[in-house]
Each structure stands twice: as C-alpha cells, then as structure tokens.
Chain A
Amino acid sequence: GAGVSQSPSNKVTEKGKDVELRCDPISGHTALYWYRQSLGQGLEFLIYFQGNSAPDKSGLPSDRFSAERTGGSVSTLTIQRTQQEDSAVYLCASSHGRPWNTEAFFGQGTRLTVV
C-alpha cells in the first residue's frame, strides 16, 4: 500500500480479554516498529523488527505483550489478559531500515480502550 496501515483503528475490550493489533508496513520496508502513546505521555518504544526477527524487545512492558512478523511484512501485536493500564494509542512505523538516516513512516494508530 501507499502508507502504513493499522487495524482496527479503535478497539474497546473488557479487562482480561486478549487483543490483537495489526500493522501493514509500506511495501519493501524491512524495519518495523511498535510504539504506544498513553494519555499525556510521549511515544514509548515497544519492539523493533528487522525482517522477521526482533533484535530488540526491550520495550515490551510485560510478558502479556508479544509481537510477531511474518514474511517480512505484516506484524501483529498481541496483548493477553488486558489491563486498564494497557489503554493507549498503539502506533506502528516502518522504514527502509539501517541506518536511521531515512525517516520512519507511521500509521494512524489503534486506539485501545480497556474497560
């Protein structure tokens, strides 16, 4: 596609349920990033993929969070047993990869609300 696509755009879920967020990066971009923005906060790094591997998972807040990327393209971020503090906008970005001298393009985000 022309840009980074994320789905769903909005998700309301009950506490304790699992959710899956999807990111379709720009075609040909090898690097893919997940960030989240909680209310009034900056952009918090979650995980980075280079191709299908994730060399940096250091930002995942807990073992309830996991992510995978298949075929060097689509990525899914899964949150198990959601908690209210998981409520945030989850943003995906992609770029050509190393080095970081080309900009990353962001999707519009998925707004997750845990009730």
Chain B
Amino acid sequence: DQQVKQNSPSLSVQEGRISILNCDYTNSMFDYFLWYKKYPAEGPTFLISISSIKDKNEDGRFTVFLNKSAKHLSLHIVPSQPGDSAVYFCAASASDKLIFGTGTRLQVFP
C-alpha cells in the first residue's frame, strides 16, 4: 500500500522554464509534508516543507503547494537550472515516521 505516490518517474525541462513535480497521498492523517533532493551517491537533502495548516510555502526558486481536499502536493522550481537535475522525493508524516514516495528524476537541459 503506497501511501505517498509520485506517478511520474522522470521529468525533462529546459533551463529557465518551470519544473513542476507532483505527489499524491492517501492518508488524511498526514500533517506535515517535505521535499528532498538526492544526487547520485549522496544521501537525500532537505529542500522545503509545508504544514497541513498552510497551502503554500515559498523559499527562493522553490514553492510547495498543498491541496488537502485533493490530497495532492506539488513542488515548483522557477527558473529551473541545470544544477537542479536530481531525484526529488516527497515525504509525509502523521507522527514521527516519514513516508517517502518513489521519487521523480528531474533533468534540466540547456
């Protein structure tokens, strides 16, 4: 039972354009959501988070949107840069355990 789903395994975007990564969840008890970025041979690094009491959180080029009624969150990267090429994981928690999605590989090309 995959409680956190990232249905797009990969995404290719041109440099300077917007990247939109999507994530769906099934557990309505999740109250905190995070995005992590992972480069090859490295551990995931925290990118941005959002509490369930908010619907938007912005940090520089990164914005996370939460639609609780649809149980959907998305990460927007504007403008996309080649250095953003990595695997992006969304994660959700209801208490102390983080449940991760399967990841989306983003490739930003010149």
* A71 in the interface (beta carbon within 8 A): no
Q: Which one, A42, A105, A107, contacts B100 given CB within 8 A?
A: A42
**Contact of A55 with B96 at beta-carbon distance under 8 Å, contacts A42-B89, A104-B46 already known:** yes
Question: What total of A-B pairs shows CB separation below 8 Å?
Answer: 61
* Interface 1/0 per residue, A98-115 and B, CB below 8 Å: 111101111111000000
* Interface 1/0 per residue, B84-95 and A, CB below 8 Å: 000001010101
Residue in A closest to B30 when the chains form the complex, CB atoms:
A100
User: Min CB distance, B107 to chain A, in Å?
Assistant: 16
Main secondary structure on B side of the interface with A? strand
**Contact of A91 with B44 at beta-carbon distance under 8 Å, contacts A42-B103, A99-B32, A101-B49 already known:** yes
Contacts of A43 on B, CB cut-off 8 Å?
44, 89, 91, 100, 103
